[in-house]
Amino acid sequence: MTRPTEDPEELDRADPEGEIARAAEAYRNWGRWGADDRLGTLNLIDPAKRLEAAALVREGVTVSLAQSFDMNGPQKGWRRRTNPVHTMLDTGTDAERGSQGFPHGIGGADDVVAMPLQCSTQWDGLGHIFDHGRAWNGRAAGDVVTSDGDLVTGIEHASSAIVSRGVLLDVARWLDPERGELPDGYAISTGELEACMAAQGASSHVGQGDIVLVRTGRLARARREGWGDYAGGDSPGLSFTTAGWLHRTGIAAIATDTWGFEVRPNEFDLAFQPLHQVAIPNIGLTIGEMWDLEELARRCQELARYDFLLSAPPLPITGAVGSPINPVAVL
Amino acid sequence: MTRPTEDPEELDRADPEGEIARAAEAYRNWGRWGADDRLGTLNLIDPAKRLEAAALVREGVTVSLAQSFDMNGPQKGWRRRTNPVHTMLDTGTDAERGSQGFPHGIGGADDVVAMPLQCSTQWDGLGHIFDHGRAWNGRAAGDVVTSDGDLVTGIEHASSAIVSRGVLLDVARWLDPERGELPDGYAISTGELEACMAAQGASSHVGQGDIVLVRTGRLARARREGWGDYAGGDSPGLSFTTAGWLHRTGIAAIATDTWGFEVRPNEFDLAFQPLHQVAIPNIGLTIGEMWDLEELARRCQELARYDFLLSAPPLPITGAVGSPINPVAVL
Amino acid sequence: MTRPTEDPEELDRADPEGEIARAAEAYRNWGRWGADDRLGTLNLIDPAKRLEAAALVREGVTVSLAQSFDMNGPQKGWRRRTNPVHTMLDTGTDAERGSQGFPHGIGGADDVVAMPLQCSTQWDGLGHIFDHGRAWNGRAAGDVVTSDGDLVTGIEHASSAIVSRGVLLDVARWLDPERGELPDGYAISTGELEACMAAQGASSHVGQGDIVLVRTGRLARARREGWGDYAGGDSPGLSFTTAGWLHRTGIAAIATDTWGFEVRPNEFDLAFQPLHQVAIPNIGLTIGEMWDLEELARRCQELARYDFLLSAPPLPITGAVGSPINPVAVL
Amino acid sequence: MTRPTEDPEELDRADPEGEIARAAEAYRNWGRWGADDRLGTLNLIDPAKRLEAAALVREGVTVSLAQSFDMNGPQKGWRRRTNPVHTMLDTGTDAERGSQGFPHGIGGADDVVAMPLQCSTQWDGLGHIFDHGRAWNGRAAGDVVTSDGDLVTGIEHASSAIVSRGVLLDVARWLDPERGELPDGYAISTGELEACMAAQGASSHVGQGDIVLVRTGRLARARREGWGDYAGGDSPGLSFTTAGWLHRTGIAAIATDTWGFEVRPNEFDLAFQPLHQVAIPNIGLTIGEMWDLEELARRCQELARYDFLLSAPPLPITGAVGSPINPVAVL
- B117-126 residue pLDDT tens: 999 999 999 9
Q: Which residues, 6+ apart, have CB-to-CB distance to D178 below 8 Å?
A: none
For chain D, which residues lie within 8 Å of any Cβ of chain A, measuring from their own Cβ? 85, 87-89, 91, 93-94, 97, 99, 112, 114, 147
Provide, as residue numbers in chain A, all residues whose Cβ is less than 8 Å from the Cβ of D99: 93
Q: Answer whether B88 sits within 8 Å of C85, measured CB to CB.
A: no
| Weakly modelled stretches of chain C, pLDDT under 70 | 1
The amino acid at B283: I
Q: Which residues of C touch A86 (CB under 8 A)?
A: 80
Cβ within 8 Å, pair D117-C111: yes
pTM of the model: 0.97
Could you tell me which of C206, C207, C211 has the C-alpha nearest to residue C311?
A: C211
Q: Where are the alpha helices (DSSP H) in chain A?
A: 16-27, 47-54, 92-97, 141-144, 171-175, 190-200, 218-225, 243-248, 274-278, 294-303
pLDDT of B48 above 80: yes
Q: Which residue(s) pair with C82 in the sheet?
A: none
Q: Could you tell me if D119 and D84 are in contact, meaning their C-beta atoms sit under 8 angstroms apart? A: yes
Report the neighbours of A using a cutoff of 3 or more CB pairs below 8 angstroms. Answer: B, C, D
pLDDT confidence of residue A99: 86
Determine whether the interchain pair D85/B142 forms a contact, defined as Cβ–Cβ distance below 8 Å. Answer: no
pLDDT at D1: 57
* Regions of chain A short of the pLDDT cut 50: none
Position B1 pLDDT exceeds 70? no
- Contact criterion met (CB < 8 Å) for B87 and C91: no
Q: Which residues of B touch C (CB under 8 A)?
A: 85, 87-89, 91, 93-94, 97, 99, 112, 114, 147
- Coil, strand or helix: which one is D135? coil
pLDDT of residue C170: 98
- CA C54, CA C67: separation in Å to the nearest integer? 24
How far is C309 from C307, CA to CA, in rounded Å?
A: 7
pLDDT 10s digits, A189-204: 999 999 999 999 999 9
Of the residues C106, C137, C280, C307, the best mutation for testing chain D's interface (the one with the most D CB atoms within 10 Å of its CB) is C106
Q: What is the reported pLDDT for B3? A: 87
Q: What whole-number percentage of chain C has pLDDT above 70?
A: 100
Q: What is the ipTM, given to two decimal places?
A: 0.97
Query: Three-state SS across A254-313?
Result: EEECCCCCECECCCCCCCCCHHHHHHHHHHCCEEEECECCHHHHHHHHHHCCCEEEEECC
Q: Which of A93, A96, A115, A146 best tests the D interface by mutation, with the highest count of D CBs <10 A?
A: A93
Shortest alpha-carbon distance between residue B87 and chain D (Å): 9
Which part of chain D is CATH 3.50.30.50? 8-78+116-330
- The answer as to CATH 3.60.15.10 being correct for domain A8-78+116-330 is no
CB distance C90 to C110 below 8 Å = yes
Contacts of A99 in chain C (CB under 8 A): 142-143, 146
Kindly determine whether residue D87 and residue A147, on different chains, have CB atoms separated by under 8 Å: no
pLDDT for C3: 87
Q: What is the pLDDT of residues D146-179, one digit of tens each?
A: 999 999 999 999 999 999 999 999 999 999 999 9
Q: How many cross-chain Cβ pairs, B to D, lie less than 8 Å apart?
A: 54
C contact set with B (CB within 8 A): 85, 87-89, 91, 93-94, 97, 99, 112, 114, 147
Inter-chain Cβ pairs, chain C and chain D, closer than 8 A:
374
Query: What mean pLDDT do residues D212-231 have?
Result: 98
In the complex, which subunits touch D with 3 or more CB pairs below 8 angstroms? A, B, C
| Interface test with chain C among A80, A96, A97, A147, by most C beta carbons within 10 Å | A147
Q: Do D62 and C50 touch (CB under 8 A)?
A: yes
Residue C129 host element (H or E): strand C129-131
Spatial contact of C224 and C183, defined as CB atoms under 8 Å apart: no
